[in-house]
Structure 1
Amino acid sequence: MSDSTPGQPPVPQSAPATSGWAAPSARPFAPPAGYSMPPGYSAPAQQRGAGAPPAQKRSAALGVVPLLLSLFAAIVVPVALGLAAFEIGQGALTQNVLTSAQFSPATLTPVREWVLFAEIAFWVGTVCGTWALIQGIVAIVRRRGRGAGIAAVVLASAGPLIALVVIPSALAVGATMNASGSL
């Protein structure tokens, strides 16, 4: 079946090629007799037995950026909106206005700067939160900064809920302090 000499492993014989294709041999081809490797040459990594080349470390910035944006949108913006709501409640609204069915926008005239500040903070928070949500999903899908991307999606989703609690509470506290004359 195979030619072998004592002390050497048997050399497999290849099957006759009937279909034009021959099975690869188990051993790589040896260089011809008298051939030597050029100076400074080393065999490729797969032939050295090192396995697959090391994978490149992927940047986690794709997940960190939306995490920072979501922290801004879920913490800083609701605090700014709460401050504005407190000042609006304290400067313009009274307990009667909060419980009455009629409301006039003219009531907000004394605190129009705070109303503008609240509107700008709301839209900045909306843009940052939406950006963080989308980029966080992309980071999760691409597996680049996946943990930070998950945290960003959770925080960006919780931001509006946090604002929905902070704004009416601060508005009511400001209006109550104005009505009671504490400040």
Structure 2
Amino acid sequence: MRRILVLLPLLIFVGLAIFLWRGIGQDTTTIPSPLLGKPVPEFSLTSLYDENQMMSAADFTGPALINVWATWCPTCKQEHSQLNRIARDEGVTIYGINYKDDREKAQVWLDKYLDPYAKNVFDPNGRLGLDLGVYGAPETYLIDAEGIIRYKHIGEVNERVWQTLKAKMKALEGGS
């Protein structure tokens, strides 16, 4: 019995070391979403630009990207020029979800930094974000032609991330 008590701290240390070692090196930007393989959740929210225009999941047709963004998010500003380039130069449809933000500030922000979004939903309370499983802005989803979520990226869309998204989009389109 005494021998077990002497070895107990060593066993605890080894167990803890194995647990921590397994977590090192895991990619935190690819946290699996319970919505992968499922349609964009149903919603009824207004357009960012027109509070009288109601929008729903049917407005998001793919293949396309859905980008969750906000003016209070410094990383959103950091990725914004890349999103503009993707929409402009590569012809990719990007839908925006303006998340827990102020409508007027968001409109001014898009005037200043340009608007890469084909359509932009205003989600002031974050309800759609909650239904999507958003951890925080920015997050980007890839949807197929049927509006099914095929991929989720947490964090900035930079050139490296775009190449991954682009390959996944081509695979959805049948490699064309």
What TM-score range do you get, normalising by the shorter chain?
A: under 0.3
TM-score by length of 1: 0.20
TM-score by length of 2: 0.21
